[in-house]
Structure 1
Amino acid sequence: MQIWANPQEDFKPPSSDDSQEEPRTQQDHAYKPRTLLSRVYVVAAVFLLFLNFFLAQYDKFVLSYFQADVISSLNLSSSDYGVLSGYATGIVYALLALPLAFVADYVKARVWVLSVAALWWSLCVLFQGLSHNFWQILLARIGMGIGQAPVEALSISLISDLVDAKWLYVAESLFYVGVYVGEAVSGQIATAFNKTGTPWNDALRAVGIVGMVLAVITRCILREPARRSAIIPPIQASDDSLFASPLRRNWKFAHATRQIKASVSQIVRMRSFWLLTLSAGARQFSGNVFGYYMPSYMSSIYPSEMSLLSRYGIIVGVVGSVTVVAGGLICTSSGKWRPYMPLYLTGVGGMISSIFVILMVFSRSLAGNDESKGVRILYGVMSAAYLTAELWLGAFASLLALLLPPQTKTFCLAIYTCTIILIYSSAPQMIGLALRQYEPESSAYIQKTRDILAILIPVGYWVAGIGFLLCIHKVKRDLRGDMVMAGRTSWRRKAGFVGFAVTLISLTVALFVTSLVLR
């Protein structure tokens, strides 16, 4: 079975004349290893990218699983925790993901940027473990955000150029297993640390040291892969070299500016990109609420279950990992439905999962306040929630990577990631402000958290689901090349983009400033 073949032969957009091939630029071709050693290299490269992403996710889940310990040891308020888990990294992500991703694309240095970024954020994670107050850990997390800003976009971009389009869905899904393994490992460590009385910051110090070693290994092993074709027609440009990446020594500001404008023009003219982005933002908003607040909430309503976090983490790690890979396999085997299957999986799966999430939140009440019975209900509905909701990450990232312009897809992916980060980072800020009047671990705090989880997560799933289903027709039009004509973008479309950008930026600033003022 040839896994790393020519993507053009495997995945073409619908066309009335299949005999016509789209022209390629000099750099627009697939990486085609032909030897066993080359295939081993690709596997090793994807595995290294997975490890980098896993460590980045692990840091987030350490903060989640040790929420009470972090708040207690650093004398934090609920608003402080909201800042640390929300905009402390979110704003930095948004500010720096775009320039770092563009530089990586423009000078063909994605691997270098990824390696240096990994080294930097690992050092900042180490400093988090050495923090003694709010401002120290805040500065460390801001520094971490600088390093982690381009990681996801760079990794998706590199994998999309390493692996054949047919198997890209599986490869990206394996990469996103890092999300679930990160939470699973965090759960096991949290349980072990609680039993032994080990402080939470030891976990962050270990992550920082391992991350720095891994960053060096990544730079030594990974090489910049050749670019591959997109599955939609590229933007029409008067200058054929507009998307060609110059050599590092030939950096020219004018050319870079034109390339940025061309890239933005491409995604503005796409009919599906922004609705896909907004839908993913709503989906990740719910996921962020789930990830940062569900573990501590479950610990508070099941105080006698000493192994709760361990089993919780195992369910996330095993069920989540199997499910996300299953999503990639389903898309791979979907034939002509392959470009649309991620949207069906995400939209319908999230809506179904919202029912199980509500059952999770009220599991103890459903068991008549019986902890042993309630925890069995919890594990069952939690498994069902992950089975239905987590099919999407890798498959959806693959679809985005294949839709975007080859030479600047890292930059375009960064536009996507920074937008959804600003959307979903607002969740901890809002919750932190809502909970600031309550004493952590008090009955009022737990009840308020329950209500927030039962409302925000299902609403986000349904908003995202409707958005993804509405995107299907728009993706079909993009695949046919039926994008908005250059120079004919309506004033309504332009006003919509400007209005959304102003609203998102205003909301971000208002929530961040309010959280700091009211802390």
Structure 2
Amino acid sequence: MAGRSNVTDAQPAQRLSNPWVVLFTLLVVSIFNFADRYLITGLIGDIKAEFNVDDGYMGLLIGPAFVVLYVVAGVPIARLADKSSRVKIIAAGCVMWSACTLATGFATGPVTLALARVGVGIGEAAFAAPAYSLLADYFRPERRGMAYAILGLATYFGQIAGQAGGPALGAAFGWHAAFWIMGAPGILLGLLVVMLIREPQRATSGPSAVVQIPFMTIVQRLKATPAYLLMMGSMGMGTLSGVAFGFWGPELFSRVYAMDPVQAKSAFAISFGLSGMAGMLCFGFLADRLSQRDKVWPLRLSGIALACATTMILFATWSDSFRIALLFAVPAGLLGGGWSVGFMAMLQYLLPVQFRASATALFLAVTTLLGFFLGPWLAGEISSQLGNGGDALRIGLSCIMPVGFLGGWLALLASRRIERDRLALADE
């Protein structure tokens, strides 16, 4: 297969899955991953009404309650993925987060709801780093941009399913049933992963052998790698900006424009989601084409797109009408839809295979902590202090989102260091 990496060439006797079957299986898993993550944001109003909580608590619930154990569990899970079956780890995580999504529907108060969200976070920690590492073994570097872009479509399919499908299900059957309906299929999907994907055999000897390197040794090597640190800061700032808007945006539209919540949240999810999908695919295509000239181009594109997307979502936040806000959704999605692809493609290019999954998990742990912990919580807390209204939420978001400009600048700085730092990591 043209998409397969050099791993398949090194292990000709092993029969592997078709790379595109692997990719689309992981895409479906990832869609449920993000749908379960975004589902609660589409049901904020119903949950607040039943449990009598404010924006600050909901921000805590959709941010820190989810992300703390997502981060804590992510690194040891990735360490396991560097030396054992990534396929089994992904399957187990899928079953766990789906079961905890089901459990969310059985919540009887704020505490049990928070505990279920913690469980979702632990399960989802088993997906990202092993999945990107697995795809790096199935696709050559010059094809990874499009592969990661296709996987990245799950963000928007999941957003639409969670933020548009969730309120529709909630209106029809109640918000508890929405979690049951969205969570149940993922349990079967976890079993399907094991049936469809074969784990590539990794070398046990020679220069490409995968040897378990002590974690603190990895940390010390990464601390001395400026490109890695700059990319981490850049993606962290971009995630902080984008996640705050992505999680609170549907609620903002509902409050500011005095619309029916289901209609407003569906329009938000579909408008930003569809344009984001188009942006993701365009970014993957451009990244693959330009990386044939210079492997660093995907990261440069990410920095430019992140800064421009931040501008667009600020305009959307302060638009005078719902129609104008939706017009800004198109450029915001096109520019913001793919910038994370450049980071993940560049990360797999930068990192040695010996600790690729561990270093990716550490990267995602820090960027996720910044984005998912601080973004939704701070925006919600500022809104609570200002009265929980539409303008209060606008101000809360506007205090957070401009850090995306800093993220774009850091990405451009990182692009200047990639090649020399890659060679330094390979030589150690």
Question: TM-score, normalising length from structure 1?
Answer: 0.76
8 A Cα contact 2:152 2:280, kept in partner: yes
Matches within 5 A, 1:458-497: 459-479=402-422, 481-482=423-424
From 119, 122, 125, the counterpart of 2:101 = 125
Unaligned runs of 5+ residues in structure 1 are 8-27, 229-239, 247-255, 365-373, 487-519
From 158, 168, 185, the counterpart of 2:134 = 158
The answer to whether residue 88 in structure 2 is matched with residue 112 in structure 1 is: yes
The answer to whether residue 44 in structure 2 is matched with residue 67 in structure 1 is: yes
Letter in 2 for 1:426: L
Amino-acid identity (%): 22
8 A Cα contact 1:31 1:161, kept in partner: no
Q: How many Å separate the matches in 2 of 1:450 and 1:30?
A: 53
Q: How many Å separate the matches in 2 of 1:68 and 1:100?
A: 34
8 A Cα contact 1:323 1:386, kept in partner: yes
8 A Cα contact 1:356 1:384, kept in partner: yes
Greater mean alpha carbon deviation, residues 128-137 or residues 61-70? 61-70
Q: How many Å separate the matches in 1 of 2:357 and 2:403?
A: 27
Q: How many Å separate the matches in 2 of 1:168 and 1:227?
A: 19
Letter in 1 for 2:96: W
Cα offset, 1:485, TM superposition: 8.9
From 439, 447, 451, the counterpart of 2:391 = 447
8 A Cα contact 1:50 1:174, kept in partner: yes
The answer to whether residue 236 in structure 2 is matched with residue 281 in structure 1 is: yes
Cα offset, 1:318, TM superposition: 1.6
Letter in 2 for 1:376: R
Greater mean alpha carbon deviation, residues 301-310 or residues 97-106? 301-310
From 162, 175, 190, the counterpart of 1:186 = 162
8 A Cα contact 2:145 2:345, kept in partner: yes
Q: What per-residue deviation string (whole Å, max 9, x for no partner) do you get for residues 150-209 of structure 1? A: 211111111111112211110111001000111122343245346x44312222112221
Residue-pair matches, total: 425
8 A Cα contact 2:379 2:400, kept in partner: no
Q: What per-residue deviation string (whole Å, max 9, x for no partner) do you get for residues 472-516 of structure 1? A: 11113224x246996xxxxxxxxxxxxxxxxxxxxxxxxxxxxxx
Q: What per-residue deviation string (whole Å, max 9, x for no partner) do you get for residues 327-359 of structure 1? A: 111011114444222222221122222332222
Q: How many Å separate the matches in 1 of 2:131 and 2:425?
A: 27
Cα offset, 1:419, TM superposition: 0.8
8 A Cα contact 2:43 2:167, kept in partner: no
Cα offset, 1:395, TM superposition: 2.9
Cα offset, 1:210, TM superposition: 0.6
Greater mean alpha carbon deviation, residues 179-188 or residues 337-346? 337-346
Q: How many Å separate the matches in 2 of 1:227 and 1:471?
A: 30
Look up the SS of the partner of 2:276 in the other structure. helix
Letter in 1 for 2:392: K
Look up the SS of the partner of 2:107 in the other structure. coil
Matches within 5 A, 1:92-103: 92-103=69-80
Cα offset, 1:44, TM superposition: 1.8
From 357, 374, 381, the counterpart of 1:433 = 381
Cα offset, 1:114, TM superposition: 1.3
Q: How many Å separate the matches in 2 of 1:34 and 1:185?
A: 41
Q: How many Å separate the matches in 1 of 2:259 and 2:382?
A: 27
8 A Cα contact 2:166 2:178, kept in partner: no
8 A Cα contact 2:42 2:164, kept in partner: no
From 134, 147, 155, the counterpart of 1:171 = 147
Q: Which of the pair is proportionally richer in helix?
A: 2
8 A Cα contact 1:320 1:387, kept in partner: yes
From 209, 215, 224, the counterpart of 2:190 = 215
The answer to whether residue 360 in structure 2 is matched with residue 413 in structure 1 is: yes
8 A Cα contact 2:276 2:337, kept in partner: yes
Question: TM-score, normalising length from structure 2?
Answer: 0.91
Look up the SS of the partner of 1:380 in the other structure. helix
**CA separation of 1:397/1:295 partners in 2, compared to 1, >3 Å: closer, same or farther?**
same
Look up the SS of the partner of 1:150 in the other structure. coil
8 A Cα contact 1:86 1:428, kept in partner: yes
Counterpart for residue 310 of structure 1: 266
Q: How many Å separate the matches in 2 of 1:187 and 1:30?
A: 43
CA radius of gyration, larger in: 1
Q: How many Å separate the matches in 1 of 2:47 and 2:216?
A: 44
Q: How many Å separate the matches in 2 of 1:321 and 1:355?
A: 19
Cα offset, 1:42, TM superposition: 2.0
**CA separation of 1:190/1:140 partners in 2, compared to 1, >3 Å: closer, same or farther?**
closer
**CA separation of 1:484/1:396 partners in 2, compared to 1, >3 Å: closer, same or farther?**
closer
From 306, 316, 325, the counterpart of 2:281 = 325
8 A Cα contact 1:3 1:167, kept in partner: no
Matches within 5 A, 1:348-359: 348-359=304-315
Q: How many Å separate the matches in 1 of 2:367 and 2:191?
A: 29
**CA separation of 1:163/1:484 partners in 2, compared to 1, >3 Å: closer, same or farther?**
closer
The answer to whether residue 58 in structure 2 is matched with residue 58 in structure 1 is: no
Letter in 2 for 1:64: T
Cα offset, 1:32, TM superposition: 8.0
Letter in 2 for 1:117: G
Counterpart for residue 3 of structure 1: 2
Counterpart for residue 264 of structure 1: 219
Cα offset, 1:93, TM superposition: 1.5
Counterpart for residue 517 of structure 1: none
Q: How many Å separate the matches in 1 of 2:10 and 2:45?
A: 48
Letter in 2 for 1:85: I
8 A Cα contact 2:275 2:329, kept in partner: no
Cα offset, 1:296, TM superposition: 0.5
Q: How many Å separate the matches in 1 of 2:265 and 2:181?
A: 20
**CA separation of 1:485/1:46 partners in 2, compared to 1, >3 Å: closer, same or farther?**
closer
Q: How many Å separate the matches in 2 of 1:60 and 1:192?
A: 16
